[in-house]
Every structure is written in structure tokens, then in C-alpha cells.
Amino acid sequence: MIHVVFSSDDRYAPQMGVAMTSILLNSRKSDELSFHVLSDSISSESTRRLLLLRDIRDFELQIVDISGDIRKAIGRINTISADTRITEAAYYRLLVGSIFPDLEKVLYLDCDLVVLGSLQEIWETDLSDHTLAAAEEIMDPPLHRDSFLRTSRYFNSGVMLFNLLRWRGLGYEAKCLAVPDGLLGRIEHHDQSILNYLFREGDVRYLGAQFNYMISFKEQFAPSLNPMLKGVQPRIVHYAGAKPWHLDAWLDRRTDLNSFEHYWKYWELGPWSDMSPIESFRKSDVCRYLYRHPKDIPTAKKRMQELKHHQAFLESMSTPVFASKRETG
């Protein structure tokens, strides 16, 4: 059984649905999948939609209702900023050892990604001598690295395989909750900063870039890191920077829309396919964005036409994809 853990509030449930759709459609027949969702706000409607994914193949689903005790436990280390992409749910992954006391291993995945192959290979990664397996951060170090940690390698926390036996045995959960106050006042990347601080001496097995292929705005990639991505065939595409469902990312001339192709595919095949894939698509939002970024106007005109075509396609579907499948099957 492959145990996959997500951490999400209800606002991010559609993106999590895209990730789950991609996992199920690209899994092997022999894969047994169990999804665990850490949340304090997943609605019954979102749960109903997620369960529609069983039309693809069977899987287990556990919605783990985060208790007040857990929220209280992370209260001191919760350094959420004004960046609304970061929510309290990001810190729940730090307590996986106690949340799943009977599991020996879990694969944590961020919601803003799609999986293009079976998870079996990453699940079978040898962690006999390591507590974590994760991929190196490939974004521009000056923008995305907490340089004061003085670590030679820095990993991204969006895809992590946990050896829970070592995690519990070495007391990492307690260490996460006890990081120095001085660190909390300086960190830029929340739970990722805390984990890199604790694992700065090692104990991480580094995965290949194909298992966490990060997508962002073009200028945010360091030229020196480009060889890391050359020839890589992504297995997990992680929208770590530019989000396909954000109107700003769609209109921004720096965005390579080809990188969003996988996301749109699994959105249209997923349980939220009857809804708009773009958040807050209103004329006022477009005008506000172009007022702030006039250089993007030529690009935006072309992309608006593409978006209208995409919206028309979705609106032409009188019923959600999964409802249609059940009626015709």
C-alpha cells in the first residue's frame, strides 16, 4: 500500500483533486493507493467530489480532522506571512509521526503538482539509513534559499518520503516544535526552512530532479542550475512558483504556458471539471493586473483569447465529466 499524505484547507481542495486525478490515471494496475488528507476544513462537498475519483480506480481516502491540540502544538512555529499561498496546513506535515503512529512510511505531496507516472519507484526508495528523501531545490538560490542556514544542499519540502520509524526514533517531531526563537524570526520558507535547519547535517537522501520538477517564472531559474534540468523527463511536475489557476500567472509574459499543459489536462479529467480552472476570473481583475503591468498588455490579449476558448469548452459541457461517465456507462 502506497500511503500518500496531502495537507490542505478547503480552498485548495480543487488543486488537490488535480494531483489525485493525475496519480490515479498514471498508476499501475498493481499499485494500491491510500490518500490521507490533513485538514481542519475539508467540506462534505469537497469530500464527495474527491470520492468521484473512484470512477477511475479504487483507492482508500482518509480525511484526518486536525484537532485543536495539533494546532496548538504548531502555534509557536507557525510563522505564516501575508503570502496567502502559505496556510497553517503547511505545518501539519511536521507532525506526521504522531498523526500516523501505526505507519512506517508515508509520501508527502504538496497540492500544487501533477504526477506523470506510477509512484511505486519513489515509494521504494531505500531509506534504511535516512529519515527523509527529497529533491534539491532548483529555484534561484538568492530568491529561494535561507542562506543563513549555511547548508551545502537545500531540499524542497513539496515532495518528501518519510521513514517514520527513524523520524519517531530520532525525535524529529519534538525538534521541529523546539526550533530556536531566533530561527523563527528569520526564516523565509516556513516548514521548509525548519526541515532544512534540522537536516542541515545530512540524513536526507536526495532524489533526482524528475521527482520534483519545479515550474516557476522564467527569470527565477538560476542559469547555473539549468543543466540540472537538461534532458530530465519529469515524473512529478511541481508548480512551485507560477500557479496555473492564478490569473496573474496566466497573463504574465514571463510564464511559459506550455508548462501548464499537464495541469489543464488533469483539471478537465478531474472532479472539479464543471468549474472554472482560473480563480477570480473577472474583468476587474484583468484590468487591475494590466494597470500594474502595462508591458504585459500585448501578451495578455493573446492569452485572453486562449482563455476564452478554454472557458467556452468547459461551459459547453452540460454535466461534469464524472457524471457523464456514470450516465453513459
pLDDT tens track for 172-204:
888 877 776 666 666 666 778 788 878 877 789
Q: Are residues 83 and 36 in the same domain?
A: yes
Nearest to 54 by CA among 11, 23, 98, 85: 23
pLDDT of residue 322: 54
Q: Are residues 292 and 148 in the same domain?
A: no
Q: Are residues 105 and 19 in the same domain?
A: yes
Instruction: Encode pLDDT of 22-68 as tens digits.
Output: 999 999 999 999 999 998 889 999 999 999 999 999 999 999 988 66
Q: Are residues 196 and 261 in the same domain?
A: no
Write out the residue range of the structural domain in which residue 285 sits.
245-328
CA distances from residue 299 to 255, 290, 291, 294, 313 in whole angstroms, order as listed: 10, 10, 14, 10, 22
Q: Are residues 166 and 263 in the same domain?
A: no
Q: Is residue 316 part of a domain?
A: yes
Q: Are residues 206 and 311 in the same domain?
A: no
Q: Are residues 204 and 251 in the same domain?
A: no
pTM of the predicted model as reported, rounded to 2 decimal places: 0.83
Q: Are residues 308 and 267 in the same domain?
A: yes
Q: Is residue 226 part of a domain?
A: no
pLDDT of residue 182: 66
Residue with cell 510563522: 79
Q: Report the b/e string of 203-226 with b at 16+ CB within 10 A.
A: bbbebebbbbbbbbeeebbeeeee
pLDDT of residue 82: 42
Residue with cell 474527491: 50
Q: Are residues 160 and 249 in the same domain?
A: no
Q: Is residue 80 part of a domain?
A: yes
Last residue in a domain, options 214, 234, 253 = 214
Q: Is residue 232 part of a domain?
A: no
Counting the structural domains of the chain, the total is 2
Instruction: Check pLDDT > 80 for residue 116.
Output: yes
CATH number at residue 67: 3.90.550.10
Q: Is residue 220 part of a domain?
A: no
pLDDT of residue 243: 86
Q: Is residue 207 part of a domain?
A: yes
Q: Is residue 230 part of a domain?
A: no
Q: Which of 65-79, 154-168, 194-208 has the highest average model confidence (pLDDT)?
A: 154-168
Q: Is residue 233 part of a domain?
A: no
Q: Which residue has the higher pLDDT, 13 or 247?
A: 13
* Other Cβ atoms closer than 10 A to 17: 23
Q: Are residues 140 and 256 in the same domain?
A: no
249: confidence class by pLDDT, cuts 50, 70, 90: confident
Instruction: Encode pLDDT of 206-233 as tens digits.
Output: 999 889 988 876 555 444 445 455 667 8
Instruction: Check pLDDT > 50 for residue 83.
Output: no
Q: Are residues 36 and 94 in the same domain?
A: yes
Q: What percent of the chain has pLDDT over 90?
A: 36
Last residue in a domain, options 214, 234, 260 = 214
Q: Are residues 193 and 46 in the same domain?
A: yes
